Amino acid sequence: MSNDPMDMVIGASANAADAKAAKDLYAKAQEQITNGERYQAIETLRSALSADPTDLAIAFALAYQLDLSGEDDEALSLYERVCEDSPAPVNALMNLAVLYEDRGDYVRAERSLRQILETDPNHNRARLFMKDVIASKSMMIEEENERDVMKRRALLDTPVTDFELTVRARTCLKKMNIRTLGDLIRINESELMSYKNFGESSLDEIKRMLSTKGLKLGQGREDAHRVARRQILEKLKGSGKEQLLSKPVSELQLSVRARKALQMLNIQTIGDLCSHTEAELMGVKNFGATSLDEVREKLTEWGLSLRIIEDGEE
């Protein structure tokens, strides 16, 4: 998240005395932040904003510190207040979009991001995050409640043998150890087509079957990568490294072989790369241990790493 409140347009002060008191408190809060005294700084910023409620720089600074401290409700309210100003500050809109997305409010998240892209169509981080928000709107369950989650799990646990498939398709899936719909959407078209005796007609057959359930090949990985990018962003929140995720992978200056492998996986940004596992990279043709070591070394130089599969994650 952006943390440069001095870029904000400072509103007109209620009066000179209150404005001076607010600015003095703001300066004190900045010292406290520098000294690692975040919670003391929050109280100081609250006092500063109370002294001059029109000062948007103070409002943004308080929102950002509350955001870092997990006080999402108050932070969101303050970001919304700051964004009422016209034009709305880009850094506040970006942080507001993240909070909206956290709450599953993809409509407002998209609206905030579009405000940024209307003025700066090439804003890398907004474009990257917009991609995730749109994916979330189209792919995630309509309602995030326990019943819907259980329903989705039951769907993904459905054996592929429950569907009317040709003998050839059934045999290939069995030999590939694909037992359920969940197993099936974790692989992509090229992986299916690379299997012996699996042809275009079988591929079309399976794609039609998945379509009837609102699923598609490769969706499981797309979901995992989207969630991973979101988790990485949260992990880096406040570290100053968030901007790295939106940079193109070309900035890593990888070898030609490594770059071609990443292109095959449609990896365009460093955030995309970090959302992949070593196994996913090694599954690409001609991507070997040397290329993997190269990628790991480059990411380590930036203080980043590939995704590690957690216990219980498939």
The number of C-alpha atoms within 13 Å of 116 and in the hemisphere containing its C-beta is 23
What average pLDDT is seen over the chain?
Answer: 84
3-state helix, strand, coil in the chain (%, to 5): 65, 0, 30
State how far the Cα of 141 lies from the Cα of 138, in Å rounded to an integer.
Answer: 8
pLDDT digits (tens, 9 = 90+) for 183-233: 888 888 877 887 777 888 888 999 999 998 888 888 887 777 888 888 888
Range scoring the smallest mean pLDDT among 3-17, 195-209, 211-225, 284-298 = 3-17
Residue 131 has pLDDT above 80, yes or no: yes
The encoded tokens of residue 197 equal: 């005796």
The pLDDT, as a whole number, for residue 182 is 87
Phi/psi at 90 (nearest 5 deg)? -60, -45
pLDDT digits (tens, 9 = 90+) for 135-167: 877 665 455 556 666 777 888 889 988 888 888
Say yes or no: do domains 146-211 and 234-301 share a fold: yes
pTM of model > 0.75: no
The residue whose two tokens read 């001059």 is 52
234-301 CATH fold: DNA polymerase; domain 1 (1.10.150)
SS3 307: strand
Q: Higher pLDDT residue, 191 or 9?
A: 191
State how far the Cα of 174 lies from the Cα of 220, in Å rounded to an integer.
Answer: 19
Domain spans in the chain, listed from the N-terminal domain onward: 5-122, 146-211, 234-301
Nearest to 230 by CA among 116, 90, 97: 97
The residue whose two tokens read 């070309």 is 250
Q: What is the CATH number of domain 5-122?
A: 1.25.40.10
Q: What is the CATH number of domain 146-211?
A: 1.10.150.20
Residue 236 has a CB neighbour count (10 Å cut-off) of 19
What is the average per-residue pLDDT within 31-56? 92
pLDDT digits (tens, 9 = 90+) for 232-253: 888 887 777 778 888 898 899 9
State how far the Cα of 10 lies from the Cα of 8, in Å rounded to an integer.
Answer: 6
State how far the Cα of 43 lies from the Cα of 29, in Å rounded to an integer.
Answer: 8
